[in-house]
Amino acid sequence: MNGTANIALKQYLPTIPPVIKSKITLPSHLPLPLSLPLLPTLSSNSLHYESGSLGAVPNKNFALDGEDRAQDAMNYLINILSSRVYDVAIESPLQHASKLSQRLGNHLWLKREDLQSVFSFKLRGAYNMMSQLSIEQLKKGLICSSAGNHAQGVALSAKKLGCEVLVVMPTNTLEIKRKTVERLGAKIVLVGETFDEAQTYAMQRAKDEGRTFVPAFDHPDIIAGQGTVGMEILRQIKNPLHAIFVPVGGGGLIAGIASYVKRVKPEVKVIGVEPFDANGMALSLHHGRRIMLDKVGGFADGVAIKTIGEETFRICRELVDGVVLVSRDAICASIKDMFEEKRSILEPSGALAMAGAEAYCKYYGLKNENVVAITSGANMNFDRLRLVTQLANVGRQQEAILATYLPEKKGSLKQFCKLVGPLNMTKFRYRYNARKQEAVVLYGAAFHKVSEVEELLHKMKSYLFKTTNLTDNDLVKDHLQHLMGGYTSVENEIICRFSFPERPGVLMEFLDAFCPRWNISLFHYQGQGEAAASALIGLQVGSSERDDFKKSADSLGYHYAFETNNKALELLLS
């Protein structure tokens, strides 16, 4: 923490892990936290449909009567048309992606919100709201919570309006975003490890100090400011438009775009795009009410929101056409696509809509249509590019990760190499297992058509070389490819994958929670940029101690999952 404010975590954030609480000395006079909304808590895994298919289509038989609905629509149209966003924002260009369009057989247009001065669309909504505050409100100061992009928009807007602002950010916010906010003159407080924790603190502090809270998405003026993106798209595109693909976090951008587009050209589809592991909007639309995710994936940190907004949900339930879900690999592929198309590097959430548009076009066999994808942000941390480059070709379906088992006899490896000879090998790891009298080869194979992988699998089968396709197994890509072939028998071993927040002292916090009660038998740490790191950990936990272990893991507060029964463990580590 940077010491710019007094961080009262124990009072404001009751969910903070005990391991962290015990290391913070706090005054006792600070108020209790605001109550959290009573929403059903669901896992992202509870809703899963094929990538590219339009799911979570809302049931629109509800809510406002005709007169109220018309008035609501008129209010948003007027507010969008009269928005003052252009005091700080540019009308971002709508650019044709020629290479991607040729590959997809459709005309893909990119709405370049990554070209804004803060490299994100967020300044639109922030300034539209802040510019309407009274002089008295501005003098008392503002406060917001953000993982980065909204914070930059608020900081720039505060600088333009000449007022003081306090920005509350999660402790694992990317350094590039923190530094940018500081350069814009805002004061920063680091609280919690999620957006929701930071927001709880910021809202309470706003109440205590009389500051105006500037929400990231759930406010009519914020939504109207973001709606200018939709207004510009309809003004810029000259041909009939099939769909606009919008990245979804809290829902402010898609609610604003839908509020304009569906009133002006209702035939144009407005489609949300979310990661499989951060699908709060899809789940909310699916169940017809807002939900809270129990855990949210952090790779696309700009949309890593556990609970969408109340107003944004109301609008989306009425106006959007559904949500497309995409994988981490697909997002990485779209980051690479953008670099090859425009020589620009998007952040993961900034490439989300591109991934969704491509998946949708392929799934429905769409041809010769105009579709728009919003490239919403480019605040990429350089360290994360390592992971992106590892996964981009897998996400583009141009690389497969395979494991083949060879009988330990003369000539088997040579025969294997002949079979894979036509394909370019991107990685190759070989290890003999004396206990099983066979060797395992873990390799990456580049290909041009999916049928080439099927042909290779058929060839391997004909030579009795058992082969498993591990392309979709994240555990293999993140960890096991670096560990394969080391056999050891460990009594009572359980294997878990933990997401470690990137900050000093995390390893000791983990060890304090589990050691010396349980012996660590495996530890493999894989950095994934500044936001988080993945750690594969084995511990010796007796069957009678499993419940105690789970309680300790839950209280630690890190996201984790049991991997003991993952088939890839047996394939590659035994």
How many CB atoms neighbour CB 81 within 10 A?
12
Q: Which is catalytic among the residues 44, 259, 334, 376?
A: 376
Rg of the chain in Å (alpha carbons): 25
Nearby residues of 52 by Cβ (< 8 Å), 6 or more positions away: 324, 356, 359, 360, 361, 362, 363, 364
Judged by DSSP in three states, 526 sits in strand
Q: Are residues 24 and 561 in contact, defined by beta-carbon separation less than 8 angstroms?
A: no
Plot region of 119 (φ>0 → left; ψ -120 to 50 → alpha; else → beta): left
The answer to whether residue 552 is catalytic is: no
Q: Are residues 404 and 467 in contact, defined by beta-carbon separation less than 8 angstroms?
A: yes
DSSP assignment string, 189-257: EE--SSHHHHHHHHHHHHHHHTPEE--SS-SHHHHHHHHHHHHHHHHH--S---EEEEE-SSSHHHHHH
Distance in Å from the first CA to the final CA of the chain: 43
Q: How many residues does the chain have?
A: 574
Structure token digits, residue 261: 């587009």
Nearby residues of 370 by Cβ (< 8 Å), 6 or more positions away: 106, 107, 109, 237, 239, 240, 241, 242
Q: Which residues pair with 82 in a beta bridge?
A: none
Q: Position of tokens 């060890």?
A: 511
Judged by DSSP in three states, 336 sits in helix
Structure token digits, residue 169: 């950010």
DSSP for residue 55: B
The answer to whether residue 134 is catalytic is: no
b/e string for 104-126 if b means 16 or more Cβ within 10 A?
A: bebbbbbbbbbbbebbbbbbbbb
Q: How far apart are CA 365 and CA 359, in angstroms?
A: 10
Q: Which is catalytic among the residues 111, 122, 306, 336?
A: 122
Which of 472, 275, 248, 210 lies closest to 374 in space, CA to CA? 248
How many CB atoms neighbour CB 236 within 10 A?
15
What are the catalytic residues?
122, 376
